[in-house]
Amino acid sequence: MEDVAKLSRLLDLQGLVIFLDEAESIPASLQKYGKLSAFLCLLKLINLSERQKGVYFIYATTPTFYNEFEREFEKLEEDLRNSKINVNLEEILDKFKSKQVELDPLSEKDCQILAEKVSNIYGIANDFFIDSSVVRNKSTQLYQEGSLGGFNIREYITNLMSFLRNQRSTYQKEK
């Protein structure tokens, strides 16, 4: 992770976002020892990204990810004892959950918070700033439009990203 962060700085990038979708499939598809390694690897990515300026690690998973981890506690603890790795599984689960953002269902306020965080990351990555009140207003509009036909988080994020790209394009033309 440190080398990837260094490379992004050398390339004069403003930031790096590593996105892992369907993280629950990693430990679910691995055998006994692979599950422990998968959970520890995810934890390491979280910890490393927190220490590297401009590096963000986002993992998307279903709530069953946490259930799987809890169900596997006894087996994982035995694997830990056998491997002599010194980690606390409760702390790992707490770390995963502390970084958790529920996406469904989201309230209008939750969408505004999400929109501001996405906007901040997008701004850092693209050397672009957009006023948070503009983002909140757009978030409200998207939320209300989405709630008319049944709210869909994927469509909301897609429309938010399109809005941010358009705002950035307008900003660059004005420069």
Q: What is the pLDDT of residue 166?
A: 92
Per-domain residue ranges for the chain?
Answer: 2-98, 108-174
Q: What is the pLDDT of residue 141?
A: 92
Task: Please give the Cα distance from 103 to 95 (Å, whole number).
Answer: 18
Long-range contacts of the stretch 68-77 (C-beta < 8 A, 24+):
68/24, 68/27, 68/28, 69/27, 69/39, 69/93, 69/96, 72/27, 72/35, 75/32, 75/35, 76/35, 76/36, 76/39
Please, what is the average pLDDT of the chain?
A: 78
Q: What is the mean pLDDT of residues 16-33?
A: 71
Residue type, 151: F
Q: Is the pLDDT of residue 161 over 80?
A: yes
pTM of the full predicted structure?
0.50
Task: Please give the Cα distance from 52 to 89 (Å, whole number).
Answer: 24
Which of 23-27, 54-58, 74-78, 136-140 comes out lowest in average pLDDT? 23-27
| Burial label, 66 (beta-carbon count in 10 A; 0-12, 13-18, 19+) | middle
Q: What is the mean pLDDT of residues 110-115?
A: 91
Percent pLDDT > 90 in the chain is 16
Q: What is the mean pLDDT of residues 114-134?
A: 90
Q: Is the pLDDT of residue 32 over 60?
A: no
